């Protein structure tokens, strides 16, 4: 049995222009504001007017790498652009062991 999915509704006012996307599909990113932050690839981008923390803007769906600390608990997570940063190749290789 799947958990209930909350209802989806369009915002009352849809902006004429959406914020510029900072990260792109397929890009490797990591959460940098927490110790031992998760890392993975951006697999989706959505615009929301509200979320559980009442924030408006772009949210990035990140597929966590199999070696990411939270991967045993969840395979994907959403992030705000302020919480993640791009991973360069040497950092990615170090994280992947």
Task: Give the separation between CA 96 and CA 80, rounded to whole angstroms.
Answer: 23
Task: Kindly report the number of other CB atoms within 10 A of residue 49's CB atom.
Answer: 15
Instruction: Give me the half-sphere count of Cα atoms (radius 13 Å) on the Cβ side of residue 80.
Output: 13
- What pLDDT band is residue 47 in, cutting at 50, 70 and 90? confident
pLDDT for 41? 97
Delimit the domains of the chain by residue range.
Answer: 28-96
pLDDT for 5? 62
Per-position b or e across 57-92, b if 16+ CB within 10 A of its CB: ebbbbbebbeebbbbeeeeebebebebbbebeeeee
Q: What average pLDDT does this structure show over 59-65?
A: 95
pLDDT for 13? 73
pTM of the model: 0.79
pLDDT in tens, 67-89: 999 999 999 999 988 899 999 98
Contact residues for 54 (Cβ-Cβ < 8 A; gap 6+): none
Q: Are 74 and 18 in contact (CB under 8 A)?
A: no
- When comparing pLDDT for 37 and 55, which is higher? 37
Q: Is a pLDDT exceeding 90 seen at residue 40?
A: yes
The tokens for 82 are: 């302020």
């Amino acid at each position: 049995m799947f958990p209930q999915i909350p209802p989806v509704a369009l915002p009352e006012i849809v902006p004429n222009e959406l914020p510029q996307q900072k990260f792109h599909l397929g890009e490797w990113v990591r959460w940098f504001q927490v110790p031992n932050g998760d890392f993975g690839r951006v697999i989706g981008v959505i615009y929301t007017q509200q979320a559980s923390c009442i924030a408006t803007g772009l949210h990035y769906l990140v597929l966590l790498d199999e070696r990411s600390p939270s991967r045993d608990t969840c395979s994907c997570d959403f992030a705000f652009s302020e919480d993640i940063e791009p991973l360069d190749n040497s950092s990615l290789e170090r994280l992947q062991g």
